[in-house]
Structure 1
Amino acid sequence: MNIASFEDLLAAAAAQEQPQRLLFAFSMAESAPGHVGQDAPQTLVPVMCADKPSGEVESFGQLAGEAAEIGAQWDMVMVSALAGEAGAQPAAATVEQALRRMLRAIREGQLEWMLAFDRQGRLLRPEPA
């Protein structure tokens, strides 16, 4: 399935044979160390993360609203999914490990396996590092 919007992501997760857990990493774009000015290269810095069963996420507006309640500043949210097994959601330890991998990948600029959405819920196409 081609994912062109947050709604497509939710539909793709719902269509999977096994239950899906969506992983979210809210991140800020900051100037790369040692660079200043408007044209300075940007790096992503994760500021918070969350995970939810795909059925608990109804829209990007809901997700952004929950993030706003926490009060953290963010520029984009990186998203990946983790499949369960035998009709059950992934184990908590597996989810925690996947979130840590995701945060490490963002810090290292390895974004090609995640989807990125801006604050308005538009799909972004980040350039590989």
Structure 2
Amino acid sequence: MIASYADLMQAVHEQDEPQRLLFVFCRAELPDDATEEEKAGFEQGEGGALTPVICVDKAPDEVDAFPALVDESRQTGQEWDVVFVAAMSGRGGTAPSSDEAQQPLTMMVESVRLGHVGGYLPLDRNGQAVDLG
């Protein structure tokens, strides 16, 4: 079971084929028509919607440590609460290119936007897995 970014990176390095990582950074937000109950829950870290604010693909050696990924995200000026991560497997010993990752990354952003996040690993700002259930 993957419980952290470190666990994810270990699993990525154990794969038979080279990988490319897909990241969708999201900010938790409340809809404008939220009820008082929803607002109170949100202030305690519950509820709300996750809105994608940054997406990027990286080779594993570009982001071996989670703090480097967080530092890079800060340079965008976008605040985020959760990052969803997925991995793409290469073929024949060759990792997927950034160009090959664009369509899957776009599909991942749309899936997250629609709330279909079951196939992705959600991590908090400390690189720990988050239970969204």
TM-score w.r.t. length of structure 2: 0.87
CA shift at 1:33, angstroms? Answer: 4.9
SS at match of 2:56: strand
SS at match of 1:18: coil
- Which runs of 5 or more structure 2 residues have no equivalent in the other structure? none
Which residue pairs with 2:24 in the alignment?
Answer: 25
Aligned AA (1:103): V
Equivalent residue in structure 1 for 2:41, among 28, 39, 49: 39
Equivalent positions of 1:83-102 (< 5 A) are 83-102=89-108
Larger relative strand fraction: 1
How many pairs are equivalent?
126
CA shift at 1:38, angstroms? Answer: 2.3
Tell me the distance in 1 between the aligned counterparts of 2:13 and 2:62.
Answer: 11
CA shift at 1:59, angstroms? Answer: 1.1
SS at match of 1:113: coil
Q: Is the 8 A contact 1:10 1:57 kept in 2?
A: no
SS at match of 2:75: helix
Moved over 6 A (4+): none
CA shift at 1:71, angstroms? Answer: 1.6
Instruction: State the structure with bigger RCO (CA 8 A, min sep 6), 1 or 2.
Output: 2
What is the root-mean-square deviation in Å for CA atoms of aligned residues? Answer: 1.5
Aligned AA (2:40): Q
Amino-acid identity (%): 36
Q: Is the 8 A contact 2:20 2:97 kept in 1?
A: no
